[in-house]
Amino acid sequence: MARPDKEYKRNMSSIEIPVIAGDGIGPEITSAVLKIVDAAVRSTSLQLEWIPVVAGLSALEQGSELIPQRTMDEIARCGVALKGPCTTPVGEGFTSINVKLRKAFNLYAAVRPVRSMPGVETRYQNVDLIIIRENTEGLYSGVENEVTPGVVMSMKVASKAACQRIATWAFRFANRRGREKVTVLHKANIMKMTDGLFLKCASDVHANDYPNLAFESTIIDAGCMKLVQDPSQFDVLLLENLYGDVISDLCAGLVGGLGVVPGANIGEDLSIFEAVHGSAPDIAGRNIANPLALLMSSVMMLNFLAETRQLPELAESAELIRRSYDACMIHGEKTRDLGGELGTAEFADAVIARL
Ligand code: NAI
């Protein structure tokens, strides 16, 4: 895929952003988030042009494929997207939408900042972790087969190129952000080849290119115990695909739950921003879902656009949103999952009132 930076710069006053509202709670949290972001960006000379595209159950319901070609084309054309959570039907031969998007656009680095929030009481008040997950390989290779009736197999894939790429990305990120330590959580004692390769690549990148940063590796089961005992001992966590998925939710539990953990899926040519959580069908359509994780993802997106397209106004809008939701938390203007009483739409109004 060609790098389309020049095309983006042609029209810098209006920025096109495809939006997948998603399934379950997706439409309600996405609508809340777009309202807030529009209100924040309004004071700049820029305008965001949201392009609605579909994926997931909502696409199937419209008679399209799980990810219609138009959705892929618009994301490729714009180089960025904001994505609500999508439901992938279990079984029935459907590939996960997320896995497909990440593979199709080579979004190899998932970045998930996990931080204690002001005004959100949890067991710890000092959590400040960045999870970096390899997003394209491991057990998400999608290679599964039936070896013989009653015996099925799923293939865990690790390539040197992908392991080196994510390790390099993680150390460069840590270095640029002034972080001090990168920890690999792994199971190389059992999966000596796959996890062994992941660990070796991280260790080599550290030794060759970033000896200024601290580096450690911990077997993932012990790492889970250490995370829940004292998360402040970790800084940047580097994990292969499945471990990154699981540890993201574990870490969300340290800071108030899935409602407060954003994410970005980063590739060479484009990036897709989405919350860590799923479509939460158990609470869908009731105006009780927390839009904050998607809002935080949109803040990451604005900062990304500010940096990659030299649009500093968007970094100011991002900061405005961040200060406003922090103020909401401090003043108890929260959704139910965080102990508050506001609905999804009322929370959006509260953030807008504080912009
Ligand atoms: P989930 O993250 O949707 O829900 C887990 C629990 O957290 C539920 O009790 C839910 O109510 C709660 N929760 C999640 N987000 C919340 C929010 N914003 N506010 C308040 N509470 C929230 O995970 P689950 O139930 O395992 O998956 C449901 C569906 O989502 C599945 O079809 C799965 O494939 C899909 N999924 C999609 C993802 C994506 O599109 N990025 C990521 C993870 C799951």
Q: What is the pLDDT of residues 61-84, one digit of tens each?
A: 888 888 999 999 999 999 999 999
Q: What is the pLDDT of residues 109-168, one digit of tens each?
A: 999 999 999 999 999 999 999 999 999 999 988 788 999 999 999 999 999 999 999 999
Residue 180 has pLDDT above 90, yes or no: yes
CB 23 within 8 A of CB 57: yes
Domains 14-115+257-355 and 123-255 belong to one CATH topology: yes
The CB of 277 under 6 Å from ligand 1? The reply is yes
Residue with tokens 């509260």: 350
Report which of residues 349 and 98 the model is more confident about. 349
Residue 93 has pLDDT above 60, yes or no: yes
Nearest to 202 by CA among 186, 180, 189, 191: 186
Report the pLDDT averaged over residues 310-327: 97
The CB of 263 under 6 Å from ligand 1? The reply is no
Lowest mean pLDDT among 5-14, 186-195, 262-271: 5-14
What is the predicted pLDDT for the residue at 316?
97
State the distance from the centre of ligand 1 to the C-alpha of 196, rounded, in angstroms.
31
Residue 332 has pLDDT above 50, yes or no: yes
Q: Using only the alpha carbons of the chain, give its radius of gyration.
A: 20
Residue 88 has pLDDT above 90, yes or no: no
H or E stretch including 217?
strand 214-219
* Beta-bridge mates of residue 186: 219
The CB of 240 under 6 Å from ligand 1? The reply is no
Report the pLDDT averaged over residues 278-303: 97
**Which of ligand 1's atoms lies nearest the C-alpha of 292?**
18
**Which of ligand 1's atoms lies nearest the C-alpha of 22?**
40
Nearest to 208 by CA among 178, 148, 164: 164
Give the pLDDT band of residue 1 (cuts 50, 70, 90).
very low
What is the predicted pLDDT for the residue at 26?
97
In the chain, domain spans: 14-115+257-355, 123-255
State the distance from the centre of ligand 1 to the C-alpha of 202, rounded, in angstroms.
31
The CB of 279 under 6 Å from ligand 1? The reply is yes
CB 272 within 8 A of CB 101: yes
**Which of ligand 1's atoms lies nearest the C-alpha of 86?**
40
The two three-digit tokens of residue 19, written as one number = 């939006």
Superfamily in which the 123-255 domain is placed by CATH:
Isopropylmalate Dehydrogenase (3.40.718.10)
The CB of 333 under 6 Å from ligand 1? The reply is no
Mean pLDDT computed over every residue of the chain: 94
State the distance from the centre of ligand 1 to the C-alpha of 277, rounded, in angstroms.
5
Burial classification of residue 146, based on how many CB atoms lie within 10 Å of its CB (0-12 exposed, 13-18 middle, 19 or more buried): exposed
CATH architecture assigned to 14-115+257-355: 3-Layer(aba) Sandwich (3.40)
The CB of 282 under 6 Å from ligand 1? The reply is yes
The CB of 87 under 6 Å from ligand 1? The reply is yes
Share of the chain above pLDDT 90, in %: 86
Residue 12 has pLDDT above 80, yes or no: no
Which residue's CA is the closest to the ligand 1 atom numbered 15?
277
Looking at this protein, which amino acid is placed at residue 309? R
The CB of 199 under 6 Å from ligand 1? The reply is no
